[in-house]
Amino acid sequence: MTRATTLLFGAALTVLLSATAPVAADDSGSAADGEKYLLRYQFKPGETVRWRVVHLAEVKTTVGGSTQTTESVSKSIKIWRVTEVTEDGAATFEYMVEQVDMWSKITGRQEMTYNSTTDEKVPVGFESVADSVGKRLSLITLNDRGEVIGRKDEHVGTTSPNEGQVTMTFPEEPVAVGETWSFPYEMVIPTNNGTVVKLNTQQKYSLERVKNGVATIEMATVILTPIHDPAIEAQVIQRQTEGTIRFDLDAGRVLSQQMDLDKRVLNFAGKNEPSSLHYLTRFTEDLVTEPPQTDELAEKDKETKTAAKPDEDTPERK
């Protein structure tokens, strides 16, 4: 596998096997000036919550004058199956991936596909994804602010050492429109010599508006530790997403999110020859109100690949 392919598949697997939270239509009706809102999650014992996840990615790598482009589309249905909710609002749930449909194309090679609902034989490169479908990947307990207070991972590759949170974390106190808060965590990056680099990082949030009971929150990843090695930066950029999350204040859950990434790194391959890496992605999650049909992802795959040409702010797909 080329470096670009490794980066792309690594990101796709992280999207499928990690447990972030979910994009919906705009609302009308704004909040009163200065009003503060208590942001809290709410779940019920026995309920199953589903999200449709779509991850579009394009990685363009140039080394020594030769350029290779790797494109991918991955779609999945992830579920949180709530097993217990305590009196103080802490929820324990099983995290699973119910279905997956993946497509990728590398310059000069045949495209690769895998659909968990239709393919009897798993193509090379998709084994770990196929092995995760339909199985409990993690048992997670969150308090009502979204902090992880208990976690047991039961499937190899389901998490990375950097996964400090599984959904947006809320502040202790109510917040007004325009206020910000952050969640600090440590990002662990492996190096080529077998060691790791630890970076101080934070997810920064801002309450942008509240309309008809739906809070719109902006999120950005901020790297606090200076990075002087382009090879490390090439791994970090795929995690530096920013975007918009919409949260239902009454229901106490995320309705949707969209995260975008457009980053470049120069000289990531070392000083011996010029190199560049361009990482372009779009990640969305949408709440699913009804259980999906078994062939749903296969039908939507055709829609994605035959869609109109993307505009300039959308990852290109061929």
- Residues 187-214: tens digit of each pLDDT: 999 887 889 999 999 999 999 999 999 9
Question: Is 316 domain-assigned?
Answer: no
Asked if residue 219 lies in contact with residue 245, where contact means CB atoms within 8 angstroms, the answer is: yes
Q: Which two tokens stand for residue 236?
A: 């970090």
Residue with tokens 């106490």: 252
Please count the residues of the chain.
318
Give the total number of structural domains in the chain.
Answer: 1
Question: Is 170 domain-assigned?
Answer: yes
Question: Is 315 domain-assigned?
Answer: no
Residue 164's CATH number: 2.30.230
Question: Is 310 domain-assigned?
Answer: no
Question: Is 313 domain-assigned?
Answer: no
Give, for all 318 residues of the chain, the pLDDT tens digit: 444 444 444 444 444 444 444 333 344 445 556 899 999 999 999 999 999 999 999 999 999 889 999 999 999 999 999 999 999 999 999 999 999 999 999 998 999 999 999 999 999 889 999 999 999 999 999 999 999 999 999 865 444 433 557 899 999 999 999 999 999 989 999 887 889 999 999 999 999 999 999 999 999 999 999 999 999 999 998 888 899 999 999 999 999 999 999 999 999 888 778 999 999 999 999 999 766 554 444 454 455 444 433 444 444 433
pLDDT tens-digit readout, 56-68: 999 999 998 899 9
CA pair distance 220, 236, nearest whole angstrom? 14
CA pair distance 47, 30, nearest whole angstrom? 31
CA pair distance 139, 149, nearest whole angstrom? 11
